Structure 1
Amino acid sequence: MKVLKVLAVAGALSAVTGVAMADDAVVHDSYAFDAHQLAPVGVRAEVGTTGYGGALLWQANPYVGLALGYNGGDISWSDDLSINGTKYDMDMDNKLAYLNAEIRPWGASDNRWAQALYIAAGAAYVDNQYDLTKNVGTNASVEIDGNRFNGGANGVSIAGNLKYDNDIAPYVGFGFAPKINKNWGVFGEVGAYYTGNPKVTLASNNNGLVGSDGRTLGQTLSDQENKIANKDEYKWLPVGKVGVNFYW
């Protein structure tokens, strides 16, 4: 599966960059290469669901640009993560490097708002990890995989992690990046990486505790791990980010 994803990404990027490099601004009738096209035209600062960071920006022609960037850190928009119906406290660690082609269908339009619309397609090296914890007090209960457990005399604690480990993931997204003036602009983008199912591990301090449907807590956590490993909704890593562009 990973080999197929890499081949698909390589083919998509080759097609896009091939169109860009065939533009008259890059390849002239005399086939003389314009070295100025290799220089970035701007930089970007961004923050979102995959962390905070920035990117270098290139513009091959009015219709096609490139963004090479990195997102990282432990920023998160929420302190919890719902997995298969159970909420866990979350500590996020993002490491993501990406290369996107930004395709502007109306890049040559006289309408600056139409110019600002783009489709992003590319790939990223994803190495994100989410540390998960769930503590159930003595007078509380929790439902995991449809099985309800009471905290008991000593309570129950669950810990684990969910990670997208060292994976190349293709990406598609939609963005809006209007210029404020010659040098400054803002942008917003939403999309998703196809990562395949993440790796997840869950463990408890009381695996022998029996729940409402007769399964132990250890067996229930194992069943939940298997479902996450095979459920389609976890194959996609959603992305939402905003930021500022600077052009020189």
Structure 2
Amino acid sequence: MKTLSTILAASLFAAFSATAMADDSVVQDGYVFEKNQLLPTGVRAEVGTTGYGGALLWTANPYVGLALGYNGGDISWSDDLSIDGTKYDVDMENNNVYLNAELRPWGASTNRWAQGVYVAAGVAYIDNDYDLTQRSSDGKVTLNGNKYLYDGSINGQLSYKNDIAPYVGLGWAPKINKNWGVFGEVGAYYTGNPSVDLDKDGTFIGLNGSAEADLRAEEQKIRNDDKYEWMPVGKVGVSYHW
């Protein structure tokens, strides 16, 4: 966490330094960087695929903002992970700290709806655990494309541990009055392949000498599937600006 704090502090300082250097281009529009802009200008509460939490917000000028936030908590999804037609229920335990720059191309527009459009780019510390469960509701389970008679469940864990992941996203955060606003954002973290462990909590019926090999093959498929190199993000919330 000490390394994370150093990264966040350095990123925050660099972002504000870059904004200060760029102020010459916006002085002519009447916007001048001031030291008190280092203080947060708002907060927001949010919930989505990466959990629930909130963020501190900074508005350096109409075109550039920063968000330093945290998402955590447990979220469960049914049939959320699928490998070759085999579906696993997912119970997510999220733990993410992020720092994003929000670039608003129409930040100085007189149209408040256009003002709210932004592109987000940043980085996050990700420490997520996903519990996986495949239950044999019909007395069968599928492993590596093969069906087995089975009494119980196949359990496992997919983890993104201690990862620093880059992020890109697209959002819309219009104000509905002077202080209050709403927002929605979609994007993705590039996390690389996760670690995956599968185990059986039940009994195979009959002679199934290849079941263990198929279990390990299924584990490897999840671990190496390209789509799990990216962690999708979708969230909504409300903001308050002072």
TM-score, scaled to structure 1: 0.83
Aligned letter for 1:218? E
Distance in 2 between the 1:185 and 1:210 partners?
61
> Residues 24-58 of structure 1: CA distance to partner in whole angstroms, max 9, x if unpaired?
38x99xxx983201100000000000000000000
Structure 1 residue 165, shift from structure 2 partner: 0.6
Return the offset for 1:83.
Answer: 3.3
Q: Which piece of structure 1 moves more, 55-64 or 105-114?
A: 105-114
What RMSD, in angstroms, separates the aligned Cα atoms of the two structures?
A: 3.0
CA contact under 8 A between 1:144 and 1:221: conserved in structure 2?
Answer: yes
Residue segments in structure 2 that go unaligned for 5+ positions in a row: 1-7
**Greater shift after overlay, 88-97 or 123-132?**
88-97
Which residue is 1:203 aligned to? Answer: 199
SS in 2 for 1:129: strand
Q: Which residue of 1 aligns with 2:133?
A: 133
CA apart distance, 1:156: 3.3
Aligned residues: percent identity? Answer: 60
Deviation at 1:232, TM superposition (A): 1.1
Does 1:39 find its partner at 2:39? yes
Q: Which residue of 2 aligns with 1:83?
A: 82
- Counterpart position of 1:106: 106
**Gap regions ≥5 residues in structure 1:** 1-8
Contact kept, 8 Å, 1:53 with 1:72, in 2: the verdict is: yes
Match of 1:237 among 205, 219, 231: 231
- Whether the aligned pair in 1 keeps the contact of 2:149 and 2:204 (CA below 8 Å) is no
Contact 1:124 1:169 in 2 (8 A): yes
Deviations 1:186-235 (A, max 9, x none): 00000000000111100114687689xx8722111211221222221110
Q: Secondary structure at the match of 1:156?
A: strand
Deviation of 1:159 (Å): 1.2
Return the offset for 1:15: 7.6
Aligned residue for 1:59?
59
Kindly state the Cα deviation for residue 14 of structure 1 after the two structures are TM-superposed.
8.4
Question: Could you tell me how far 1:18 is from its partner in structure 2?
Answer: 4.8
Residue 4 of structure 1 aligns with which residue? Answer: none
Residue 228, structure 1, aligned to residue 230, structure 2: no
Indicate which of 164, 169, 187 corresponds to 2:160.
164
Query: Does the 8 Å contact 1:204/1:218 carry over to 2?
Result: no
What secondary structure does 1:60 align onto?
strand
Where does residue 241 of structure 2 map in the other structure?
247
2:185/2:236 contact within 8 Å kept: yes
Q: Could you say which structure has the higher strand fraction?
A: 2
How far apart in 1 are the matches of 2:107 and 2:33?
A: 23
Quick one: distance in 1 between partners of 2:212 and 2:16? 50
My pick for the range that moved more, 40-49 or 197-206, is 197-206
Greater displacement, 14-23 / 185-194: 14-23
Alpha-carbon spacing, 1:200–1:181, altered in 2? closer, same or farther (3 Å): same
